[in-house]
Each structure stands twice: as C-alpha cells, then as structure tokens.
Amino acid sequence: MNKIAEGVGWYLVFLFSLVAHEAAHAFTAWRMGDPTARKGGQVTLNPLPHIRREPIGTVVVPIVSYIIGGWMIGWASAPYDPEWARQNPRKAALMSFAGPAANLLLVLIAAIVIRIGVSADFLASPQTLYFGHIVESVRPGALDAVAFLVSVVFCLNLLLFFFNLMPIPPLDGSGVYMLFSGETGERINRFLRNPFISFAGILAAWRLLGLLFPRFQDLAIKLLYPGVTYR
C-alpha cells in the first residue's frame, strides 16, 4: 500500500473513531436529559457537524501530525450543560464514560473481524507486530487493505479507550470525580475545571501513556492471539 493510500486510510479511521467517541457522549447526555449536544447536531455519526465544531482538531492537526511524524493526533468535542452535570453527577459520569465505551466497542468489532478472518484463513497473525499492524492478509490483493484497516481500527481505538479512561482531567476518566456529592464534590470539580490543571493533566497523561499503554496493548494482543508469543 502506498503512503498516500495509507495516510487516507489512517485519517478515515481516525476521524470515524473521534466521531463515534463524541457521538456517544452526545447521545448519552441527550437520553439522560441534556439536549445541548443534540441541538448542536453532535448526536450523529455524520462527521460534518463534528468537523464544523472542531475543524482544527479533526482536520488540520491530524493531517499535519501524520505528514510530520507519521502518526495522528487530534480532538473533537460535544457540548453539554455544566448546570445539568452539577445537578446530575451520576448521569454526567455515565456521559463521560460513554466516549471510551464507544472506542472499546470498535476494538471488539475489529477483534471479531480479525478472529473470523484468521479462522477462515483469509488473515493471519504477523511475524512482527507494531502499532497499526497486528494482522496481515494470507494472500496479496484486496485483503491487504482489509488487514490494514482492521489493524488501525483495533490499535487506534485501543489507544483512545486507554488514554481517555485515565482519571486525569480533562480526560473522560476524570468523570469519576463527578460522583462526589455535596460541598466536597463542588470543590473537586471547581479544581478540575481550572485551565492550568487541565494543561498539566494532559502533559501527565501523555507521559503515563508512553509508560503504561505498551503493557496494555500487549495484554490485548495476548487476548486476541491466545497461545501466540511475541517478544
């Protein structure tokens, strides 16, 4: 697969994964009483409303980061009503966890496709694993594209699931702190909304990601290919 086709494939998977993540936030909030994101058009897998809301994070940064570094970073967002979240902390926490849950669902779908492909002798576990390459086609041809796309879906959404579930503000995992009630909860959430805390949290999360994610990915690969050992 040439680099341009590979880049297009990466971007399509990346964009869809971001959209699924934010649409899950928006849908959950809407069903639990906050229509803010629905009014903004984010309760959809159509990428256009999400791109209009965050054009830099969904288009510019992913493409530039891939051209420069060979990998993609970016962001999207779904609005919600802070007053609704304050009055409904448990619902707000579920809204936070809905995004990572969507990414986990995509990981599981990719894993099922991989296992079916391996069982049918269309796909096979590769001799060498790396991020974005965890399965390959048995015969060259159209299945190469399938192996590439399903590998990227698995790895990228595994990364998004792990990263966003960290209990560090402003990541989705920090939604667990919404469960604190009363004055204590108010103080914690005011502290977490501080822009400096959010900036420091992103830096800390990136550091922890590099340390912890490889082990988490190794565990996922062992579950995907039981009995297969990679060094």
d(CA 209, CA 221): 17
Ramachandran angles phi, psi of 15, nearest 5°? -65, -45
Q: What is the DSSP letter of 128?
A: S
| pTM recorded for the entire structure | 0.92
pLDDT at 3: 80
| Tens place of pLDDT per residue across the chain (231 aa) | 678 889 999 999 999 999 999 999 999 999 999 999 999 999 999 999 999 999 999 999 999 999 998 889 999 999 999 889 888 888 999 999 999 999 999 999 999 999 999 999 999 999 888 899 999 999 888 899 999 999 999 999 999 999 999 988 888 988 887 777 666 666 767 766 677 777 788 888 889 999 999 999 999 999 999 877 765
pLDDT at 182: 61
- Domain regions of the chain by residue span: 3-224
Give the CA distances from residue 121 to residues 107, 114, 129, 150, in Å, rounded to whole numbers and listed in that order: 21, 10, 19, 16
> Across-strand partners of 137?
123
With residue 136 as reference, give the H or E element that holds it.
Answer: strand 136-137
**In 113-123, which positions are buried (b, 16+ CB within 10 angstroms) versus exposed (e)?**
bbeebbeeeeb
Provide the token pair at 102: 């969507």
pLDDT at 192: 66
